[in-house]
Structure 1
């Protein structure tokens, strides 16, 4: 694109490929359908796993929609956008990544018939936007059930139904308790609002070995470090902790620093100055009588000597994120200069400092904290691949627990809420005048893709089950959905299958907005060379051409 006379001008050369109009819209719809088909079998408790191999030879085995799409390489820009929405969903609410891609693909697919009938895309978009507003209103007012945060059994039910489709489903109670305890530990009330930052304050530490039943939430933090000197104490009860963000060694000059020495005594004097500097640093620290010093930078041999003589344990080169967690758990303030440390900066909230050897590595544990607003989730398991999958599942469980704490409302799972919203939208469609009624109704039908896919994935009779489900909802049984285990109709209230309202709202918003965005595209201009396959035919993209 070039600027000419104040206006952007598209310059087409022999390497520029330009496609426009209906062909582009059909390509985008096709790309959306292909991506949705890739992870369609990953929905529900009977979902299949995908094995992904990266160029480095690493293997990922998972049924987490976001993890699968993250590893796939695609060529088509619309397909790239579909992958991006799974990432958005994961960052916003941490769950529903598979559902959102399947729904967006279906919403694009049902729009194809209207484009075939020469309906303008803007009319379809207006109908979709109106349907989205109505769907969100129905969800919040008619179908959501408020949740009591003190009712732990109900909270466990919601988290279990969200991870029941994952590998961790077989260890449901353990995963639910871990997620609830971790979120409860790091929740902070500020200005009348609850803040829960799972990524920042709850670290997941994977240690191969042991069994999955050994996974737990520590009432404090752990990290992969050992004390700097073998004589330092590896176990201290109720330690006084000092946290530093500065090195305990002489600051080396930059590369431009020049030192001129004229006599042997000058060199000894320079070394003496360095020693005095380190000694002064250690004296500042020893004066506060700490038991444990943790720094993000290096510690010289001389500093180790002085501190170990004073019976102080030292840990160096700790990650910034770990140091922030230790600060929150112990009550210590991270200090940048040793001469600025005051008594109130010393942390006294840790019950026990201990260095343990697990396998071949040393881990530092700071546990028994009085009020830890940060925690570490320790995961044990037989292999690294398994631990990676457990971590992905636990991230989802933590996200669900966080959503429930931030907005305590739930809706029925198992496709029940989709069928209820679909029925309500079909009723509302009767009052809409003009051609908008058709795309509005089509979007209502598109929502049925969730119960349909659930039935398909566990080998149920799709046509019979969906007919019966529609009849149940028409008769007013809003809680009926698909039992993902058996592929039969079931009351979700009895099965205790729930989903957080926040996740459902985000799924609908993201899916409709994505469909709308892709339908508005009527021109693709690419400056790259034509692919060999496209020179002759100009055919619509196939699954093979879009994925490498």
Structure 2
């Protein structure tokens, strides 16, 4: 029995060794260069044309990279970093790419000197452990209930964004929304699910200052029968359903044969009675508003409006969940299973209002809402999209602080402290790993250096002065004021970063750099594009020859 052998045909592209390392490093550096200018408060915006011909104007690292169309696999994995960072902590999407690019850049000279990638990775992993120990030491804990501190923190984290010109507005909205949906799990733990329970509704028109956090939810629906149903109800009793209020139609294989005219009438009467029965089961609980995710027939609409009940149909599942959380209702699967406790009585006002051309239903003034809607107003769609991206970042920052109330210095202060401490530690490292470890320490300076570049100050002079202040490791809170480029104390300027964002940035950047350095072979298993009409083999170019009769079989 022969062992299976991988046979590479001539058409297979294959690169290996240092050529691959250099290619990967170049690709990663190119991605980092694209978004390097979007770091810090003095950052530039990028204008992107998407596939559909629309434009996106933003300086959000993740939003920019999402739109890039790249062919190089290493560059694609760099983009993945930014996405991971965004999903995990929602901030630091630009920093993570800049840092990973720099880590790979400083590794290049060691690859040239024939250092083994494993040695470099070992040194990097050690540097990461030491870096996390440093930020643990310099982090300071804050009180989450202190609104002014929270506001300052969220503002400093999104001070680099486009909306920072509107003052406290976005930070205020973010803190209010996040603290509203926080759920105490006991033992000092809090769950804050901002994706599920905070909906951002963008309505063009009005001023950005008109934006607000609603103590409840709004959704884009009107009542079923506008003329007959009330559009404003104070202290409504709300019933939520995810079943249809209409006659159950059989599937397409149902066949009914009717012999006499009377039978047809009997059939209609049965339908009517069924719908009437459904509505009667709802009306026992004296609801003011009935909201269903499915359909609602004209007949049901007639019975409900006759009883003075307002109905809304075909509401999204996610919206229905938010309504349930806001007004304390339970979504019922069948009308007959409804209980008094399932009726939502927590809302203070139900109202349908017309904003612009569309009708929106509001369930607001809730007593203890665990879900909310942020209503954003503004002059144009593009502006609102950017405001929404900034708001998401701000809400993530607020969530991180609520979960882990620790702060580290912003303005490159953390990176400089880590860099100075690692440089001192490198003296005690023996063997060949000493140099890559030192290089990793230098790579951390990429963040403050980029901040200085974007401010337009003399980079060499600023960096030298900063290194001098951090050399003894005492001035951990000294960094660059991103607006002016001056060296200042981050505590005085209130320029802070969240501990969890910083820790995640370091972890993601260094681990990704190690992963890319470990790649020594790129094999493309894609077949070449054939001329139209040409008949060619449909096999992939890298095949496993495991058939004994295969003519390409190579004996052991």
Q: Provide the TM-score with structure 1 as the length reference.
A: 0.95
What are the residue-to-residue correspondences of 1:77-88 with 2, within 5 Å?
77-88=73-84
In 2, the alpha carbon distance for the partners of 1:298 and 1:168 equals: 41
Q: Does 1:425 align with 2:440?
A: no
In 1, the alpha carbon distance for the partners of 2:377 and 2:335 equals: 38
In 1, the alpha carbon distance for the partners of 2:422 and 2:258 equals: 86
Q: Tell me, yes or no, if the aligned pair for 1:163 and 1:172 is still in contact at 8 Å.
A: no
Provide the alpha-carbon RMSD of the alignment: 1.3
Cα distance change on mapping 1:253 and 1:137 into 2, 3 Å: same
Q: Does 1:183 align with 2:178?
A: yes
Q: Does 1:135 align with 2:100?
A: no
Secondary structure, in 3 states, of the residue corresponding to 2:291? strand
More deviation, 129-138/478-487: 478-487
Please name the residue that 2:277 is paired with: 280
Q: Tell me, yes or no, if the aligned pair for 1:32 and 1:78 is still in contact at 8 Å.
A: yes
In 2, the alpha carbon distance for the partners of 1:303 and 1:151 equals: 51
In 2, the alpha carbon distance for the partners of 1:354 and 1:319 equals: 18
Q: Tell me, yes or no, if the aligned pair for 1:15 and 1:527 is still in contact at 8 Å.
A: no
In 2, the alpha carbon distance for the partners of 1:226 and 1:530 equals: 55
What are the residue-to-residue correspondences of 1:398-437 with 2, within 5 Å?
398-437=395-434
Secondary structure, in 3 states, of the residue corresponding to 1:25? helix
Q: Tell me, yes or no, if the aligned pair for 1:17 and 1:529 is still in contact at 8 Å.
A: no
In 2, the alpha carbon distance for the partners of 1:469 and 1:386 equals: 37
More deviation, 247-256/406-415: 247-256
Q: 2:331 aligns with which of 312, 329, 334?
A: 334
Secondary structure, in 3 states, of the residue corresponding to 1:380? strand
Please name the residue that 1:520 is paired with: 518
In 2, the alpha carbon distance for the partners of 1:429 and 1:383 equals: 53
Q: Does 1:103 align with 2:96?
A: no
Please name the residue that 1:543 is paired with: none
Q: 1:166 aligns with which of 130, 145, 161?
A: 161
Please name the residue that 2:544 is paired with: none
Runs (5+) with no aligned partner, structure 2? 531-556
What do the CA deviations read for 1:320-350 (whole angstroms, capped 9, x no partner)? 0000000011111000101111111101000
In 2, the alpha carbon distance for the partners of 1:171 and 1:251 equals: 53
Cα distance change on mapping 1:40 and 1:247 into 2, 3 Å: same
Q: Shift of the alpha carbon at 1:191?
A: 3.7
Q: Tell me, yes or no, if the aligned pair for 1:95 and 1:399 is still in contact at 8 Å.
A: yes
Q: Shift of the alpha carbon at 1:488?
A: 1.8
Please name the residue that 1:538 is paired with: none
Secondary structure, in 3 states, of the residue corresponding to 1:113? helix
In 2, the alpha carbon distance for the partners of 1:511 and 1:65 equals: 14
In 2, the alpha carbon distance for the partners of 1:262 and 1:15 equals: 72
Cα distance change on mapping 1:6 and 1:370 into 2, 3 Å: farther
Q: Tell me, yes or no, if the aligned pair for 1:329 and 1:371 is still in contact at 8 Å.
A: yes
What do the CA deviations read for 1:177-201 (whole angstroms, capped 9, x no partner)? 1111111100001142200000000
Q: Tell me, yes or no, if the aligned pair for 1:419 and 1:448 is still in contact at 8 Å.
A: yes
Secondary structure, in 3 states, of the residue corresponding to 1:450? helix
What do the CA deviations read for 1:255-296 (whole angstroms, capped 9, x no partner)? 222112222222221111111110000000111100000000
What do the CA deviations read for 1:461-496 (whole angstroms, capped 9, x no partner)? 000000000011125222111111112211111110
Q: Does 1:209 align with 2:205?
A: yes
Q: Does 1:147 align with 2:142?
A: yes
Q: Does 1:269 align with 2:259?
A: no
More deviation, 70-79/270-279: 270-279
Q: Shift of the alpha carbon at 1:161?
A: 0.7
What do the CA deviations read for 1:136-166 (whole angstroms, capped 9, x no partner)? 11111x2101111122111111100111111
Q: Tell me, yes or no, if the aligned pair for 1:18 and 1:525 is still in contact at 8 Å.
A: yes
Secondary structure, in 3 states, of the residue corresponding to 2:296? coil
Give the ranges of 4+ consecutive aligned residues of structure 1 lying more than 3 Å apart after TM superposition: 4-7, 529-532
Q: Does 1:371 align with 2:368?
A: yes
In 1, the alpha carbon distance for the partners of 2:498 and 2:491 equals: 14
Secondary structure, in 3 states, of the residue corresponding to 2:432? coil
What are the residue-to-residue correspondences of 1:340-359 with 2, within 5 Å?
340-359=337-356
Q: 2:245 aligns with which of 244, 248, 252?
A: 248
Q: Does 1:13 align with 2:9?
A: yes
What do the CA deviations read for 1:38-63 (whole angstroms, capped 9, x no partner)? 00000000100000001211100000
Q: Shift of the alpha carbon at 1:441?
A: 0.5
Q: Does 1:258 align with 2:216?
A: no
Runs (5+) with no aligned partner, structure 1? 533-548
Please name the residue that 2:483 is paired with: 485
Please name the residue that 1:92 is paired with: 88
In 2, the alpha carbon distance for the partners of 1:11 and 1:24 equals: 21
Cα distance change on mapping 1:528 and 1:477 into 2, 3 Å: same
Q: Tell me, yes or no, if the aligned pair for 1:164 and 1:172 is still in contact at 8 Å.
A: no
Secondary structure, in 3 states, of the residue corresponding to 1:11? strand
Cα distance change on mapping 1:112 and 1:285 into 2, 3 Å: same
Please name the residue that 1:506 is paired with: 504
Secondary structure, in 3 states, of the residue corresponding to 1:332? coil
Please name the residue that 1:125 is paired with: 121
Secondary structure, in 3 states, of the residue corresponding to 2:386? helix
Secondary structure, in 3 states, of the residue corresponding to 1:204? strand
Q: Shift of the alpha carbon at 1:529?
A: 4.7
In 2, the alpha carbon distance for the partners of 1:6 and 1:302 equals: 72
Q: Provide the TM-score with structure 2 as the length reference.
A: 0.93
Secondary structure, in 3 states, of the residue corresponding to 1:249? coil
What do the CA deviations read for 1:185-244 (whole angstroms, capped 9, x no partner)? 000011422000000001000000000001110000000001000210000000000000
Q: Shift of the alpha carbon at 1:381?
A: 0.2
* Equivalences, count: 527
Secondary structure, in 3 states, of the residue corresponding to 1:10? strand
